[in-house]
Every structure is written in structure tokens, then in C-alpha cells.
Amino acid sequence: MRVCEDGKWNFAYTLPRSDPKHELIVVLCLTLPTGWVDSPPFLCAVTETARDIMHAYEALPDLPPHPLEHHMLNLTKHDAALLHHPPSPLPSPLPPALQEVYIDDFIALCPAQHLTRLQHHSRAMLHAIHDLFPPPDITGSTMEDPISIKKLASEGTWSTTKEVLGWLLNGQQRTFSITDQKFQKVTSQISTLRRRRRVPIKDLVKLQGKLKWLSNAIVTGKPLLGELDMFLHQHQHQTWVTLPSNILILLQDWHLLIQQLHARPISFHELLPTSKPAYQGWADAIQLLDTVPTAKRNAATALFVAATTATSHGVIAATESERFRFWTHWQNFLQNTFPMHQPILSNYPLPTRLALLGAFAAFIRAGQHQPANKQVSAQTVLLALRAISQTHMLDGQPDPLADEKGQRHIILKRQIENYRRHDPPPKRKLALPHLAIEYLNVTRADNNPLYQAIHDLCTIAWFYLLRVGEYTQTTQTARRRTIQFRLEDVTLWNHTQVLRSTLPLQTLLSQCTAATLRISNQKNSRRNQVIHQEATRDVTCPIAAIIRCVHHIRQHTSDPTTMLGTYFTGHKHVAKQVTVTDITTALKNTVQVLVLARYNITPADISSHSLRAGGAMALHLGGVPAHTIKILRRWSLDTSLLYIQEQITGFSAGLSTQMSSTPLTPNAAIQPTLRLLNS
């Protein structure tokens, strides 16, 4: 084994001397010592090899008996009653099992339902260990068996409850709790420190270590350690310290938390990672504050926090949640498939980065990141790779997907293009005809505020070409870019005069000639845009629908920020919001009642987007120029007009006649005739 020049002294130690005048004796071990800080990576190579052999044996259908297996199968009556006893062979497929090793201690977790499963797993472990560490009857050694019989009988028996590092694990209930011994020790130490007030700093440091260990089982434990960590840092050069009131209160809080932890076992699911972190804050990882004068550190910290907050709010919550979700899939993918590689790829060469990213793209494409294992589209794969790219750049690292020119590497481009070519063609939702809007207004209920709001909002959305997020409330409470239309965003007109929205309903219906909607912010980040429509004075009049919505809201509140999609119901007049599901359900029911399937429009082809597309289609069939439609619909790209061109035949009306009469040559005078061609 080769080590650096300074590292050789890690293999030696000195014998204690009774007299300083005696000669110093240095001892060198003939075997590799364990437990020192600078242990080489291959220190546990042998025992980890035994673990790998266990995995191989575990996959075999049958294993020979082992003379020590009865020690592991000495189950309690309670655990034995939980198992069935089917005859061999083992059921297929076998449930997953986990084996790990640290130095020379093996630990296993097996979700078994049959005794034969535990027996098979026990044999795999024992045979794997004896393959690398043979017993004395094979080696002829006078030493004891490498597998400690005493430890195997006391701690190696399969059980639904086990004490591991001070935690009492319960595999049946899937919970864990602190042991009585640990509970008494920690709470006694906290009580002693609270009584004495002036304590040795080393005792407080010991307690800090125990609290850090306990914080693994307390969701809010880590944030509570911050105040204690700061206090110890400020007094690190002192021997004795006087505990201030805030630290005493902190210790009291910890005492209560530990009591609750001891009284109620914690479920494993309570500590599993979720889509969002339990605590999120700012940390000076690069130690910039060390260069800032003490008097300016609070101001500098506030600037750092403001910059971090602005960065995190630079995208909507759904986009950030999507990035976090795919980054978690990336971490799990590497941990399960390539455990020797880190999620940050900056230190890997380009071929390694491309190989890992390509494998992850194939993993996502096959749908192995979701329980259904259903193939996903190329767009989903692209989103997954983009999440890795953005996470690297947000961490100050270079984009792992980019080549030397800063563009996505050609290998990944071709892989995504192959997925895109094999994807099924997109099936866009169809536009809703005016007949459906007429039906909604004719059947508008007078005694149901929800149905009234739905029918009026559908009419407004169809004529004003609104996005569904501009007038409905989604189920999510996270931040969104689009701000829904509010009461203050509506302006009612009598020709050139503005009408007060507080006027009586009949007055507004008779005098209002137009209405303007002003949207504060929309999906494409355009702000303060206005949409204007005039009254039609028929059953589907959009201005009348707006007036009815405004009048209903004004009857219950004067808050100008109330959403236009708000309705009040019940004897207490509780305010509720019309949702996307409400709109979609109403449209599908309308299509079904009107039997629009005869026009090749089925409920499955309709969604809330059909209102916006239906209004645009009606404008085009009415001869409105495409440029005007684009302005009214607030489109930024001409290609968006193709969304409605696929459905209607009006775009191709008369084209075949024009094509048959158009000359094939630039000069129509020399257009050959059929007679000349036949002659």
C-alpha cells in the first residue's frame, strides 16, 4: 500500500512512558489499523466485497444450510406468529432486501412474510462472510470463528424491533423512538444545565452533539440548533459560561420536544423527503461576511437574503417545483444506478457527463421515475434535462448539457430528436362554437349562484378570448404569474362616458354599450393590457354577462380586489371561486346535451381552452384579419393561429377552385390548353 510521506505516521503510535527521561518507543502495526481519521478508501474493501457477495447469493433460488443460521432464526413467539410457513421453494419474485456494512458490522433489513425468506437471507449473509473470512475448521486456526457467536446470538436474531444507535426501530408499525436509556441521559443532562446556570463549556458542547443526533427525528430540530450553535461559537475560547435567558428557554423547548419524542413513536413517513424542504434559509457558505465590517453585517445579510428571494421568485412556483422534482429524480437515479457519481457533474470529463445524462434521459423516457412505468414524451425528457442544467447554473456551476459553444451538445440533441419523432402527434382541444354559448345563456339558472357565474364567465371568455387562468381560481395556492381579473379591472361605458358599477342592474343593462377589461399581468409577462368589446343586445351579449358578475359581487362586498370569478352562496354568503374544473365540466355537459358529436366534437375534445379557440375561430370565419385576431387574443407568434386552423374547413373554402384556375406559368397568355397538349 502506498501512502504520502506525511501519512506514514498514521500507521504508528507511541507507548506511554512512566518517566519522561525514558526512551520514546514507536510501535508499527503489521496489519492495517482501523478507526483513524485519514483511513484510506479501501479500508473496508474486504467487508464491502462480502456485502456484494450477499447480493449475489440473495438472487439465487436456493442456498445450502449454514451451521450458524439457527442463531439468526431464534425468533420470539410474537415475531414467529407473524410469519407463514410455506414449503420451499421460495415465492417468486422475492421482495427487496437491504444489506449494508460499516467496518466489520453488518446490518440487514428484510420485508419477509415467510420463514423461508428469512432463512434464505440468513444463509446468504453467513455464507458470504465465511467465503472471505473462513471459519477455524477450514483454516486450522486456533482463533475463534470470524463471526462472533456471542454477538450473533444476542444481536443477530431477526426481530421486528431492534435497537440501533440509540433508536428503537419497529418494523411492524414502521416507527422508531428514542430508547429509555437515551431519554433519561439527555433529559437529565438538560435539567442539570438549567439548574446550574453557570456551566463548563465542554458540557454544553456534549449536549449540542446529542441534540444534533436527536434533530434527525424532529422535523423542526435543526433550525432550533442555530441559536445554541451561535452561542457556542461566541464563547468557544471560554472554559465556563453563564447561560442567558434565551438559551435556558431553548433548553426548555428541547426538553419538551424530547419528552414528546419519547412518548410518541415517529413514523418513517414523517421524515421522508417531500417536494419542499422543511426549512429554507440563507447561509454564508462562501464566507463573504467575514470581509464585511461588523457594523455592516446585518445590512449585508439583508441584501444577500433579498437577492436570494428575488432569484427564487423569478419563476412561478410550478416551474420551480418541477425543477426540484426532476432534480430529485436525478439524485435518486445516480444513487441507485451509479452510486459512485455525484449529481454535480462539473468535475467529470465531457464523455462521462454525456453518458450519465443520456442514461438519465433514457430512464425518464421509459417512465421509470414514476410508478406507472409509462413512456413519457420527448418534452418531458427535455424538462428533466433542463432541470439538471438550471440547478447547476443556479449553483454557480457551468451548464453540463452545453458544448464549448454554449449550445446543447449534438449527442443530446439527436437523442431528444429521436424521441420526438417517435412521439404520437399532439391532439389539440377543439374550438367551441357559438351554439354552445347560446345554450349556456338560455339555460342560465336564476337560483344557483355557481351556475350563474359559470355561464357568465364562459360567455365573457368566449368573446374576450381569455385564458382560463385569467378568470378562474386554480387549486394551488403557490405564486403564479397571471393575475386574475378583479372588480377594479372592469370599466363599463355608455359610449364615451364611464358608468359607475354601483348603479342598479337594470340601469347598467340598458345604458352600458361596451366594457373594457384590464389585466395586470399575464402568462407571457405582458402587463396592463386592455381588451374592449361592445354590447350585442342579444341573449349571448358579453357586456350583459360582465354586468351580472359585477352586480352579484357588489351586492356582497365593495372590495375592489375581488376576483371576477367570485360568487357568494349559502345563507352566510360565503365567498367562493369558480375553478377550472367547474368550467370544463359545464362545457363537456353542453357538448353532450347539444349532441355536437354530429359535427365531430365530442366531450373528450373539449376543455377550458376551447372557449378561447372558439372565439378566435368565429372571428376568422367572420372575415376579421389575422392581425386583428392576434392583437385581441394577445398572441405574440403567428404560429399560434395554427391552433384553430386544424379544426375548421373555412380556411380552405374555395382553395381548390382557385388552384384549378391559376396558371402554371408566369405569363398567363402562353398557358397551354388541354387541346394543345393532346395534339
Q: At a CB cut-off of 8 Å and minimum separation 6, what does 380 contact?
A: 364
pLDDT at 370 over 90: no
Looking at residue 289, its pLDDT comes to: 73
Contact (CB, 8 A) for 559 and 487: yes
Report, as an integer, the average pLDDT of 262-267.
85
**437 phi, psi to nearest 5 deg:** -65, -40
Name the band, by pLDDT with cuts 50, 70 and 90, for residue 88: very low
DSSP H or E run through 533: strand 527-534
pLDDT at 499 over 80: yes
Name the band, by pLDDT with cuts 50, 70 and 90, for residue 671: very low
**212 phi, psi to nearest 5 deg:** -65, -40
Name the band, by pLDDT with cuts 50, 70 and 90, for residue 15: confident
pLDDT at 273 over 90: no
Name the band, by pLDDT with cuts 50, 70 and 90, for residue 622: confident
Judge residue 108's burial from the number of C-beta atoms within 10 Å of its C-beta, 0-12 exposed, 13-18 middle, 19 or more buried: buried
pLDDT at 34 over 70: no
pLDDT at 121 over 80: yes
Name the band, by pLDDT with cuts 50, 70 and 90, for residue 413: very high
Report, as an integer, the average pLDDT of 216-228.
82
Q: Whole-structure pTM over 0.75, yes or no?
A: no
Looking at residue 66, its pLDDT comes to: 94
Pairwise pLDDT comparison (194 vs 290), residue with the higher score = 194
Contact (CB, 8 A) for 520 and 514: no
> DSSP string spanning 585-635?
HHHHHHHHHTTGGGGT--GGG--THHHHHHHHHHHHHTT--HHHHHHHHT-
Alpha carbons 658 and 335: distance in angstroms, whole number:
64
Q: Where are the domains of the chain?
A: 1-159, 177-271, 317-422, 434-645
Question: Which sign does the torsion angle of CA 258, 260, 264, 265 carry?
Answer: negative
**235 phi, psi to nearest 5 deg:** -120, 30
Name the band, by pLDDT with cuts 50, 70 and 90, for residue 679: very low
Name the band, by pLDDT with cuts 50, 70 and 90, for residue 33: low
Contact (CB, 8 A) for 86 and 116: yes
SS (H, E, C) 377-438: CHHHHHHHHHHHHHHHHHCCCCCCCECCCCCECHHHHHHHHHHHHHCCCCCCCCCCCHHHHH
Pairwise pLDDT comparison (115 vs 633), residue with the higher score = 115
Q: Which of 366, 353, 367 is nearest to 412 (CA)?
A: 353
CATH of domain 434-645: 1.10.443.10
Q: At a CB cut-off of 8 Å and minimum separation 6, what does 133 contact?
A: 50, 146, 147
Strand runs (DSSP E) across 541-663, as ranges? 566-569, 574-577
Contact (CB, 8 A) for 155 and 164: no
Can you read off the three cell numbers belonging to residue 245? 435567558
Name the band, by pLDDT with cuts 50, 70 and 90, for residue 644: low
Report, as an integer, the average pLDDT of 343-364.
91
pLDDT digits (tens, 9 = 90+) for 291-343: 778 788 788 888 888 887 787 777 766 778 888 899 999 998 998 888 888 89
Report, as an integer, the average pLDDT of 225-247.
89
pLDDT at 9 over 80: no
Can you read off the three cell numbers belonging to residue 550? 359585477
Can you read off the three cell numbers belonging to residue 129? 462472510
Report, as an integer, the average pLDDT of 572-576.
83
pLDDT digits (tens, 9 = 90+) for 525-572: 456 678 888 999 999 999 999 999 999 999 998 898 899 989 998 777
Name the band, by pLDDT with cuts 50, 70 and 90, for residue 14: confident
DSSP H or E run through 633: helix 626-633
Name the band, by pLDDT with cuts 50, 70 and 90, for residue 265: confident
Neighbours of 486 (CB within 10 A): 19
pLDDT at 24 over 90: no
Q: At a CB cut-off of 8 Å and minimum separation 6, what does 196 contact?
A: none
- Arithmetic mean of pLDDT over the chain: 81
pLDDT digits (tens, 9 = 90+) for 454-472: 999 999 999 988 888 888 8
Three-state DSSP state, 235: coil
Residue type, 525: S
Three-state DSSP state, 495: coil
Alpha carbons 387 and 361: distance in angstroms, whole number:
12
H-type alpha helices, 423-519: 434-442, 449-464, 505-511
**CA dist list (Å): 14 to 3, 4, 25, 33, 421:** 20, 20, 6, 14, 70
CA 83 from chain centre, in angstroms, equals: 37
Looking at residue 408, its pLDDT comes to: 87
Can you read off the three cell numbers belonging to residue 155? 444481536
Report, as an integer, the average pLDDT of 113-138.
89
pLDDT at 31 over 50: yes
